[in-house]
């Protein structure tokens, strides 16, 4: 079971990291637009649409990847103090109460948007030479399917946590230094741990 859960994590990580290259393409497109606009005095007719679609693609396709890493924003001032089983029970209720209905609505509505756009061969109306946008709209239902798949994985993790009393392992990438410092301080239960960790981090950054 764990290999299956981590397999879905890896799938969404691959998709998220692949679409992360949109940042590079977006930067190049905007740089080129600025150069044309202010140096050549001949702005492009496509940069706005392209930047909008690239940012939207990045935002959507990174959603399931972020969920796989438990990285979405959570007001955890109470949540983090609960026992893992209590956290899992709360998550389980909220997944079925809010998450899955929203994701199913996204898939249903997104498919309709894409289908209509494809049938009309829709182009952007924001510029004279607006690019075709149905491939971008196709990402809406695809995003919904990936989020649905990752949501099922998270529900399984909740059930495992309720049964075993602790969260199962998940894949991890980088973490914020602030989180690592706080976790280290909480483990040591030492007020000076935070200062020591910050000092080590400053030293490490200075040596890079």
pLDDT at residue number 169: 84
Q: What is the mean pLDDT of residues 16-37?
A: 94
Both 207 and 144 in a single domain? no
Spatial contact of 149 and 107, defined as CB atoms under 8 Å apart: no
Report how many domains make up the chain.
Answer: 2
Both 115 and 145 in a single domain? yes
Both 161 and 184 in a single domain? no
Q: Tell me what the pLDDT averaged over the chain comes to.
A: 86
Spatial contact of 64 and 149, defined as CB atoms under 8 Å apart: yes
Question: What confidence tens digit (pLDDT) does each residue in 76-110 have?
Answer: 778 888 999 999 999 999 999 999 999 999 999 99
Spatial contact of 79 and 41, defined as CB atoms under 8 Å apart: no
The pLDDT > 90 percentage for the chain reads 62
Q: How far is CA 137 from CA 67, 125, 181, 187, in A?
A: 22, 14, 41, 46
pLDDT at residue number 136: 93
Both 198 and 139 in a single domain? no
Both 163 and 181 in a single domain? no
Both 94 and 163 in a single domain? yes
Question: What confidence tens digit (pLDDT) does each residue in 111-159 have?
Answer: 999 999 999 999 988 877 788 999 999 999 999 999 999 999 999 999 9
Both 98 and 12 in a single domain? yes
Both 128 and 41 in a single domain? yes
pLDDT at residue number 144: 97
Domain with 53 in it: 2-173
Q: What is the mean pLDDT of residues 33-59?
A: 91
Both 30 and 40 in a single domain? yes
Residue 208's pLDDT band (cuts 50, 70, 90): very low
pLDDT at residue number 206: 42
Task: Name residues whose C-beta falls within 8 Å of residue 132's C-beta, 6 or more positions apart in sequence.
Answer: 121, 122, 123, 124
């Amino acid at each position: 079971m764990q290999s299956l859960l981590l397999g879905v994590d890896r799938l969404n990580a691959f998709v998220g990291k692949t679409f992360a290259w949109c940042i590079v393409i977006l930067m190049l497109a905007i740089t080129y637009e600025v150069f044309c606009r202010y140096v050549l005095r001949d702005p492009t007719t496509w940069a706005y649409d392209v930047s909008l679609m690239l940012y939207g693609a990045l935002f959507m396709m990174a959603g399931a990847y972020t969920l796989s890493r438990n990285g979405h924003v959570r007001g955890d001032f109470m949540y983090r103090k609960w026992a893992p089983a209590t956290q899992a029970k709360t998550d389980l209720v909220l997944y079925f109460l809010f998450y899955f209905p929203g994701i199913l609505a996204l898939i249903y509505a997104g498919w309709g948007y894409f289908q209509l756009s494809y049938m009309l061969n829709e182009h952007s109306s924001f510029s004279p030479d607006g690019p075709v946008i149905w491939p971008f709209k196709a990402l809406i239902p695809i995003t919904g399917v990936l989020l649905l798949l990752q949501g099922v994985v998270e529900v399984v993790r909740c059930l495992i946590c309720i049964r075993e009393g602790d969260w199962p392992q998940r894949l991890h990438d980088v973490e914020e230094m602030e989180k690592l410092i706080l976790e280290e301080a909480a483990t040591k239960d030492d007020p000076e741990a935070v200062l020591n960790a910050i000092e080590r981090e400053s030293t490490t950054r200075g040596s890079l």
